[in-house]
Amino acid sequence: MSTTVHVTEPATGHQAPLRVAVIVGSARGGRVGPSVAEWFVRQAGQRTDLELDVIDVAGLDLPVSMPDWDGLPVPAPSTQAALAEVTPRLADAEAFVIVTPEYNHSFPASLKNLVDWHFTQWQAKPIGFVSYGGVGGGLRAVEQLRQVFAELHAMTVRETVSLHGPWSGLDEDGRPLDAAVCESAAKNMVDQLLWWGRALRAARAEHPYGE
């Protein structure tokens, strides 16, 4: 899935639409991650204060084997091409929303691989979560991701969207069964993401992070 939602309302400075990368974290067969992401994009895409760019890890050719800190061995051409496609999009994003299931009380290796291929692209930016799963609704995956992103100097927001199957899981059209609760949760999370995104945008403009 590759979807970009752009707003047309002109704005400048700290009121310009926040550029948000929505990352689909599962690459597993039979996954519902794209449906969850599409539902979230439908909700958040109605706002005029966001620009959404959907990045699906299933479409990225990033191997588990990585170069050392000196860049050796040089990544294969297919890996360089994948990085050339995704890295600028992560760098351009001012905030992120991670869409993740819970696998064995954690998050997918495909998502961790994308995270580990990058570093500065995450720094001093806010991150929100949309998780899904069984009784836990993916919340254990989110708790572990908070630790990972803290190490990467990112700011995770408090509010989350959690789809607990089957009670607030997805129908056959990819919509949450408990629509009112999930839409409210999505609004609350995005509101926090926007506040932090604008605050950190202004802070990075005044004083680039790490300098």
Tens of pLDDT, residue by residue over 113-163, are 999 999 999 999 999 999 999 889 999 999 999 999 999 999 999 999 999
Domains (range + CATH), the chain: 37-59+82-206 (3.40.50.360)
Query: Could you say which DSSP state residue 170 is in?
Result: B
Distance of CA 60 to the CA centre of its chain: 15
How far is residue 158 from each of residues 34, 107, 143, 153, 193, measured CA to CA in Å?
23, 18, 11, 16, 9
The pTM assigned to this predicted structure is: 0.90
The helix/strand/coil state of 45 is: coil
Q: Kind and range of the H or E element at 115?
A: helix 109-116
Supply the pLDDT for residue 175.
81
